[in-house]
């Protein structure tokens, strides 16, 4: 897969087009009954079969573009640097290295460089998000027991 050196935010025109396209595609996906629907490119009249998962991904991309968010697509098996992993987790690189050394996230070492699978970074992020959600529910329940939510 080809990478990019930088990721541009969509222009205002691209946002408008993406919003319209997202709405139309989301409605079309709801009506599909096949796992490989065929679409037609209007300008060339070419018929193309596309896996439903790819259409759903395209829908997600259009939704994000419509909101003005930049998009990056990375294969899940991709190994990333500690700096990139730290950016994804919104933490510092030294903190991430500590997590790696404690065994919180699996990694491989190539010479002096650590490489982490994207799927492992995302799994760790989801695990932390779930733990945070559980703690919030626990706090809310304790507040409720103390009568802090009574009116």
CA distance 116 to 79: 5
CA distance 113 to 107: 10
Q: Which fold has domain 79-145?
A: Multidrug-efflux Transporter Regulator; Chain: A; Domain 2 (1.10.1660)
- Coil/strand/helix, residue 39: strand
Domain spans in the chain, listed from the N-terminal domain onward: 12-66, 79-145
CA distance 57 to 132: 27
CA distance 68 to 63: 9
> 76: which DSSP letter?
T
The per-residue pLDDT string of the chain (151 residues; one tens digit each, 9 = 90 and over) reads 444 444 678 889 999 999 999 999 999 999 988 888 988 888 999 999 999 999 999 999 999 999 988 887 777 678 999 999 999 999 999 999 999 999 999 999 999 999 999 999 999 999 999 999 999 999 999 888 888 776 5
């Amino acid at each position: 897969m080809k990478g990019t050196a930088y990721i541009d935010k969509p222009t205002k025109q691209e946002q408008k087009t993406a919003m319209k396209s997202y709405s139309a595609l989301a409605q079309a996906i709801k009506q599909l009954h096949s796992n490989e629907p065929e679409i037609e490119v209007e300008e060339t009249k070419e018929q193309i079969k596309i896996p439903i998962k790819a259409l759903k991904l395209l829908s997600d991309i259009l939704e994000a573009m419509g909101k003005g968010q930049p998009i990056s697509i990375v294969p899940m098996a991709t190994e990333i640097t500690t700096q990139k992993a730290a950016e994804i987790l919104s933490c510092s690189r030294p903190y991430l290295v500590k997590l790696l050394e404690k065994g919180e996230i699996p990694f491989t070492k190539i010479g002096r460089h650590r490489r982490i699978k994207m799927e492992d970074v995302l799994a760790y992020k989801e695990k932390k998000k779930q733990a945070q959600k559980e703690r919030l529910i626990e706090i809310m329940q304790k507040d409720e027991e103390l009568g802090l939510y009574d009116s």
